[in-house]
Structure 1
């Protein structure tokens, strides 16, 4: 299956599996979203040591993958302290019970200084290509509202909106809705 790839910048950006050496940069990137946005419902920043089990739960094969985008030209970060990592996409367990094993939940985080370069699309294209040979039937994504950019990204990759949980999370002193998207694999 072909996935939409942005027309510009693909020669400058490399997408590869995440490795343990990425842990500090990935933690820094995620912590930006923890501290500054309602995109994630985590409320306290993590240390790299606390995030290590998450990283190790994404091997290079199987249904739970981690794909990382880096700037191939500069080798340096874009200002968030992410040391060259422009973003990441991951698939993980949808729910813990065994019958859910063929479903995954996906996520994408892009360095806020690297937005608008098509990095989210490159990451999702790489992630879904990596998952294409796995025994995975459905992908789900939870998107805190409002988030039009994420809604557009998921629509481009064949996700459809299947429902919204109203005021399901409280962060920064207010309640947030979460829209759920589903994609057959």
Structure 2
């Protein structure tokens, strides 16, 4: 597997990977799959301030089979060193190392850009996502109970976070890029 920075040319593949999560699961609370054009806008925005990476499978003609990205955690200035992350793989690719490869490359890119903390949210239950995040050093910081309604029922969302850089002092860090 190969991880690289996403471009707008990857938008259709990312939209195709994401669509079944939107239509068939509560893993995301979106209810209408984004179009390739909308996904291209998301890729452009993420790459401008954070990062969006794709996973290619060389055994399958270097086809995009997953992606991970980061974006702002919160718009207020005090949160500017913190990102929210997500990772999506094609069905059948879970627990193959693809999510880990994407996240490790994403974290390295975020550190280069000056970010200190990453967060993630996941609809519960989601054993695969919980396991991936725990294995990468994320810690559970809370659970929102019955916060999202999708597919005819209420869902809980777990919130996790991970330090990218341990602060040595209380001095203000450099501004993120």
Matches within 5 A, 1:166-177: 166-177=145-156
Distance between the aligned counterparts of 2:95 and 2:112, measured in 1? 30
Higher helix proportion (structure 1 or 2): 2
From 26, 31, 43, the equivalent of 2:14 is: 26
Alpha-carbon distance in 1 for matches of 2:15, 2:156: 25
Please give the root-mean-square deviation of Cα atoms over the aligned residues, in Å: 1.3
Which residue does 1:129 correspond to in 2? 108
Is the deviation greater in 96-105 or in 46-55? 46-55
Structure 1 residue ranges without an equivalent (≥5):
1-12, 77-83
Partners of 2:93 and 2:131 lie apart in 1 by 17
The runs of 4+ residues in structure 1 deviating greater than 4 Å are none
Of stretches 22-31 and 124-133 in structure 1, the one that deviates more from structure 2 is: 124-133
The 3-state SS of whatever aligns with 2:27 is coil
Structure 2 residue aligned with 1:39: 27
**Structure 2 residue corresponding to 1:86, chosen from 58, 62, 65:** 65
Unaligned runs of 5+ in 2: 165-177
Residue 130 of structure 2 is aligned with which of 151, 154, 175? Answer: 151
Q: TM-score, normalised by structure 2?
A: 0.88
Alignment size in residue pairs: 164
- Equivalent residues of 2:95, 2:128 under 8 A apart: no
2:141 alignment partner, SS class? strand
| Structure 1 counterpart of 2:162 | 183
CA distance in structure 2 between the partners assigned to 1:132 and 1:102 by the alignment: 10
Residue of structure 2 equivalent to 1:70? 56
Q: Deviations over 1:56-80 (max 9, x none)?
A: 1122x75x1011001012216xxxx
Deviation (angstroms), 1:118: 1.0
* TM-score with structure 1 setting the length: 0.84
- C-alpha deviation, 1:98, in angstroms: 2.0
Q: In structure 1, what is the equivalent of residue 2 of structure 2?
A: 14
Matches of 1:94 and 1:120, distance apart in 2: 20
TM-aligned CA deviation for residue 181 of structure 1: 0.1
Q: Distance in 2 between matches of 1:139 and 1:109?
A: 16
Cα distance in 1, alignment partners of residues 52 and 124 from structure 2: 24
> 94, 99, 107: which one pairs with 2:78?
99
